[in-house]
Amino acid sequence: MIRNFAVVGPGQATRERLTAALAAAPDMAVYRIGRGADPLPVSATFDPADQPGCRSLLDWFERGAPSGAVLLVDDWALCFEQDPELVRTVEWVAAFGPARGVQVVVTARKWADLPERLRRHLHGEPTDFLALHGIQADLSDMWQRDDFRAAAGVDDRGWPVHLQLEIGGAVHRGSADQLLSALLGLMATHSAEHLQFLFVDGTGSGIFEPLSFASQVAYTLTPAADDATVLRLLDALAGELGRRQEILHKAGNFRNLADYREAVRNGAPLDPIADLLICVDGAAALFEREPLFHEHVVMMMRAGRTLGLHVLYSGGVPETPYELPEWPLAVPTYDLVEMLELLPHAPGAGTAHEIMLPPLGHDGKPLTLDMLPPGALGVVDKPYEHRRDVLVPAFTTELRHGAIVGAPGTGKSTTLRTLATVLGDLSAYQLLDGPGEPLDPQRHIVVTARTWDQVPPFIRDSLAFGIELRLDDPNTSLINPRSAAHVPILPGIGLSVRDKAAVQIALP
């Protein structure tokens, strides 16, 4: 039994849906207003430009069409353009026809084509995920929105349920499929120029895995990440706040991102700034592992009101100082799994700002001096600034000396040889592999040692070049015991005393 409904989507997809629906009710007499040569089982077809013919048909419906009749308005936008008076009559038939066994079926290319007054009497039905979001089958019009609005799915009557991305924070209490449907909707309609994502999986559920490879995703954190990576992400998030504040300040002391974007719309030569949606699933487990994460997320929510940052919680909501609105729940389209495999890999959405660079030495490939500019002997990891700088020794009359400290096998001797190669002329330097040798205070002295206690105090007090590799006991760190504990057991990876940051020393 056909009921009043509107099927929305590309022409071929609506044809297939109509064919299936009409084939299931072969005894119904179908009268169509619209155009098309397809072999739908219709009793009569009227061109929408034939207004007298259409009116006669509609008059017949009003006078008492037989039970089992269907009025098919095929391509609503086309029919309405030819005859705007159709709205009243079709609405009338849709409202009172079902009581007499007369149904109305409407097709449309876009949801916006259908007037609200008519929707009240019809069930909606998108042909697929793309139709739900008004995207063409060839994906040519993806990423066209900039209003942070998308359909999360459909309601119990088949009409789209839209969510509006709220600045600050929100919570999702539905199923994993409902969450993925909503996120994919935002991802399919917004490019990286307008919206980017950062996923945090606190429990290892893998919920964000289908979306993690999309180019709009800045980073994905899972429980497999070590503690050092978690701390680097905290630095990176704090740095993202600072980066956005600095951009607004330098661009003209804008109060917030909304004012900045208004200037862009008015022709100001400014680079776009995307909103960032931070999705946290299983926050309780994450915050228990690293309590500082809670402080940083709350900071994101607070600053998000002016800087375009959003926090979405799922899988449990921790205590926050804010009342969080809930994302609407909706039923995903039947082809969600297929779209999760296709759309995140679609090219052309732009690239997210790289909030988190991989940790130094992550790929196992050696760093060599010929990979660096002249004068540099390594790289410095700066997660707060979202970049890496080169490490250049800078000996002065005030900061005269250097020390390379680390456990056996951490690369002390190699670091010393790299330094010697970079310095070139060693006449003003005394480089000693090991403590306790005769020292020449008239020259810049660099020594290697297993602990900082083995480094002479006058050198520690005048460090121009201090490298702390993996220590036997991180608590003896000159920099920070927690940072020292996170130094990997990899030769040449350590901390710079001057920068208070991770470094990788190149091979000579």
Same structural domain for residues 335 and 376? Answer: no
DSSP H or E stretch at residue 201: strand 195-201
Alpha-carbon span 171 to 166, nearest angstrom = 10
Alpha-carbon span 188 to 456, nearest angstrom = 61
Same structural domain for residues 401 and 262? Answer: no
Q: Where are the alpha helices (DSSP H) in 120-167?
A: 129-132
Question: Where is average pLDDT lowest: 116-120, 317-321, 365-369, 445-449?
Answer: 317-321
* In a domain? residue 356: no
Same structural domain for residues 69 and 111? Answer: yes
At which residue do the structure tokens 């470094």 appear?
503
* In a domain? residue 19: yes
Same structural domain for residues 96 and 234? Answer: no
Q: What is the pLDDT of residues 127-167, one digit of tens each?
A: 999 999 999 989 999 999 999 999 999 999 999 999 999 88
Q: Report the pLDDT averaged over residues 85-100.
A: 88
Alpha-carbon span 139 to 142, nearest angstrom = 6
pLDDT computed for residue 234 by the predictor: 94
Q: Which one, of 202, 208, 235, lies nearest residue 384 by Cα?
A: 235
Same structural domain for residues 171 and 97? Answer: no
Q: Report the pLDDT averaged over residues 330-337.
A: 96
pLDDT computed for residue 39 by the predictor: 64
Question: Residue 327 sits in which domain range?
Answer: 161-345
pLDDT computed for residue 62 by the predictor: 74
Tokens of 422: 């970079």
Q: Is the pLDDT of residue 507 over 90?
A: yes
Alpha-carbon span 166 to 309, nearest angstrom = 9
Cα dihedral 72, 111, 212, 214 sign: positive
Alpha-carbon span 237 to 221, nearest angstrom = 12
CB 420 within 8 A of CB 414: no
Q: Which one, of 126, 386, 55, lies nearest residue 239 by Cα?
A: 386
Q: Which residues does residue 313 pair with via DSSP β-bridges, in sequence order?
A: 171, 280
Other CB atoms within 10 Å distance of the CB of residue 289: 13
* In a domain? residue 139: no
pLDDT computed for residue 362 by the predictor: 84
What is the number of residues in the chain? 508
Q: Which residues does residue 33 pair with via DSSP β-bridges, in sequence order?
A: 46, 73
* In a domain? residue 115: yes
Same structural domain for residues 48 and 167? Answer: no
Q: What is the pLDDT of residues 372-390, one digit of tens each?
A: 999 999 999 999 999 999 9
Q: What is the pLDDT of residues 11-63, one digit of tens each?
A: 888 888 888 888 877 778 888 898 766 666 778 888 888 888 877 877 877 77
Same structural domain for residues 43 and 91? Answer: yes
Same structural domain for residues 375 and 336? Answer: no
What is the b/e burial string over 65-101, where b = at least 16 CB atoms within 10 angstroms of the residue's CB? beebbbbbbbbbebbbebbeebeebbbebbeebeeee
Q: What is the pLDDT of residues 175-196, one digit of tens each?
A: 999 999 999 999 999 999 999 9
Q: Where are the alpha helices (DSSP H) in 215-291?
A: 227-252, 257-265, 283-289
70 contacts: CB under 8 Å, gap ≥ 6: 2, 22, 25, 28, 29, 30, 31, 102, 103, 104, 105
Q: Which span out of 101-110, 297-306, 415-424 was modeled with the highest average pLDDT?
A: 415-424
User: To the nearest whole percent, how much of the chain has pLDDT over 90?
Assistant: 75
Same structural domain for residues 247 and 287? Answer: yes
Alpha-carbon span 504 to 380, nearest angstrom = 7
Same structural domain for residues 232 and 88? Answer: no
Query: In the predicted model, what is the mean pLDDT of the chain?
Result: 92
Same structural domain for residues 330 and 288? Answer: yes
* pLDDT confidence tier of residue 433, bands split at 50, 70 and 90: very high
Q: Structurally, how many domains does the chain consist of?
A: 3
13 versus 6: which is more confidently predicted? 6
pLDDT computed for residue 43 by the predictor: 81
> In the β-sheet with 429-432, what is the strand arrangement from edge to edge?
387-391, 378-382, 501-505, 493-496, 463-469, 401-405, 444-449, 429-432
SS3 for 361?
Answer: coil
pLDDT computed for residue 35 by the predictor: 72
Same structural domain for residues 309 and 171? Answer: yes
CATH number, domain with residue 396: 3.40.50.300
Helix count and strand count (H, E) for the chain: 15, 21
